[in-house]
Each structure stands twice: as C-alpha cells, then as structure tokens.
Amino acid sequence: MRDDVSLPDNPQPRGVAGTALVHKIAGYAAEQGKSLQEVTGIALEAINHVASIGVAFSSCNIPGESTPDRVKPGTCELGMGIHGEPGVETLPVKRSRELVSLMVDKLLCTTGTAQPVALLVNNLGGFSMLEMSLLTREVLCSPLAKATELLVGPATVVSALDMKGFSLSAITLTEAFREALLAPVEVAGWPAVVVPKQPGVVTSGRRITPHPSTPSENGTVKAVLATVCETLRDAEHELNALDARVGDGDTGSTFAAGAGRVAAALAKGMLPLDKPDDLMIGGGRASGQRHGGGPAAC
C-alpha cells in the first residue's frame, strides 16, 4: 500500500486507510474464484487507484508506553501515521470546513473530479459519531462531492487505537471496483456502502388538522391540574438531578416549562376543563410542538 498523499512526491508513501478498500476489492475477487495471480493483479490495480489523507488531534496511546504529547493543545497534525508516526505538518486547529477543504484539495490533486470515486470517511478511533457526521457533511459539501458516487462510512474501519482524528480515502471507480465494493459481506466491521444524496424537501401526505375546543370550567379538574403544575415546578431540581445520573439532566426543566405554560393558560381561563378529551388532545399537541428534552419530554 502507498495511498498516503499528505506529502507530495514522497518516494515511499505510507499505507493507511485505503488498505480497507483494497482488501474489499481483493477479497471479492477471491470469493469469485479468481486465482492467486489474478487476485494479486486486481489488488495492485486497486492500489494504483486509491489515495488517502488523514489528520490527528492526538497520537495514540500504546499499551505499556508513556502517553505521547507531541501534538500540543490547539494544534493538529496532518498526515500522522496510523501507528502515531510523525505527520508532514503541524497546523493550528481550524474550523471543520477549513480542515476538510485542505484535505480535499490534496486528494483532488491525485483523483481529480473527472471520474467517479468511492469515498471512505474513516474514524481513527477517538472521534464521536457526532463529530464524524459533521465532518462527513463538510466533505459532501466540498468539491469532492461532485465525484463521490459511493460513500463508505463514517465509520471506524482502519483505526489507530484511540487516536483523535479521521482520514479520507478515495478510490477511482471502475465497473469491477464498483461491483466489488457494493457486494454484501458478513463482516461486522465493514459498513454499508451508500449512494450519497443531497437533502430534499418531502411533502407529507398527512396533515394534522386543528382540533377546535371551547374554554369551559370544571372546578375539580382545575384544582387537580393546578396541583400537578405546582408539583412539577417544585420538583424541577430534583428531577434534573435524577436525570443527570442517566441522561442529560434536563427533565425537570422540561416538565417545569410545560407546567408553567399550562398554569398560565389555566389562569387565563383558556382551557376546555369540562371536556377531558379536548383537554388531553390539546395538551398533547401543545407539548409535542413546544417541549424540548428529547425522549424525556415525550
């Protein structure tokens, strides 16, 4: 493998995450009954069509070794190897769009945009899926998107233990490579290959019609509802503390905010208190539209 393009004109480029794409293509050829010589030829052809570049915000922690501190806070290293080998350039931390743009420019010097490519967005081990999804969005908004026919990831395919970083690998597609990459496998570590699409507006065929209701009075319901609202507001901090043990600690605030709105409507005489069905339907719809807090608010 020699897919690392972080250093132009390097006589001995490193092998990095593009390895996974070559393995998938070579493995498919072997599965089809090709001879060892044929599989070798296909793998070598794939190697000549793949380019990769990575960036890391930390090195990897190798068991039994001291914690590396080469990458200083506020910096990142372009082209760091998957075993923590030094990169080609130390950069100040940039916005994700700027960093992706720099990496894409280097990839395009090798792949261009004239031919379609399969793109692997690879987590080097220490990034969250939220971060990887953000980076994938930036890549698919870059000039490389024009040539990206197939997308692999974002996923941890070729990792560097716990290295905080990611890499991009692009392989120029031939019909044989396309068929090989799309072929299903039972290996859990190989993510689904998808065709990237730009977000579009979908018109819903189902519309929620307003449920009209007329304010009415019911002393018993009013008293119960007022007590519920007061109880939820009083329990805000306690509920937040409980939620913080298993979630994001906002359940109490979510319930208190909803209770405050209901209490305000109750004080203004705006609720159909004598129509329990209307009261529940209206309250449910209002909560669904206005409450935050994710599942805790449901």
Q: What is the pLDDT of residue 289?
A: 61
List the CATH code of the domain at 219-289: 1.25.40.340
What is the chain's mean pLDDT, rounded?
A: 89
Active site residue 23: no
Note the Cα 93 to chain centre separation in Å.
Answer: 20
Q: What is the pLDDT of residue 290?
A: 62
pLDDT tens for 20-58 read 999 999 999 999 999 999 999 999 999 999 999 999 998
Domain boundaries, given as residue ranges, for the chain: 17-194, 219-289
* pLDDT band for position 108 (cuts 50, 70, 90): very high
Is the pLDDT at 159 greater than 70, yes or no?
yes
Instruction: State what percent of residues in the chain have pLDDT above 90.
Output: 55
pLDDT tens for 69-85 read 788 888 999 888 888 78
From the list 23, 49, 83, 291, the catalytic residue is 83
Q: What is the pLDDT of residue 84?
A: 79
* Partners of residue 163 on adjacent β-strands: 125
pLDDT tens for 171-225 read 999 999 999 999 999 988 899 899 998 778 888 777 767 777 889 999 999 999 9
Give residue 237's identity as a one-letter amino acid code: H
* pLDDT band for position 293 (cuts 50, 70, 90): low
| Kind plus residue range of the DSSP H or E element containing 239 | helix 236-246
Is the pLDDT at 297 greater than 50, yes or no?
no
Please name the residue that has the structure tokens 């819903």. 204
- Does pTM top 0.75 for this prediction? no
Q: What is the bridge-based pairing of β-strands 75-78 and 117-123?
A: unpaired
Q: What is the pLDDT of residue 261?
A: 87
* pLDDT band for position 296 (cuts 50, 70, 90): very low
Is the pLDDT at 298 greater than 50, yes or no?
no
Q: Show Cβ contacts of residue 78 under 8 Å, excluding neighbours closer than 6 positions.
A: 6, 53, 54, 55, 87, 88, 89, 90, 91, 102, 103
> Domain 17-194 maps to which CATH number in 3.30.1050.10, 3.40.309.10, 3.30.1180.20, 3.40.190.150?
3.30.1180.20
> Rounded to the nearest 10 degrees, how much is the dihedral formed by the CA atoms of 28, 31, 32, 38?
70
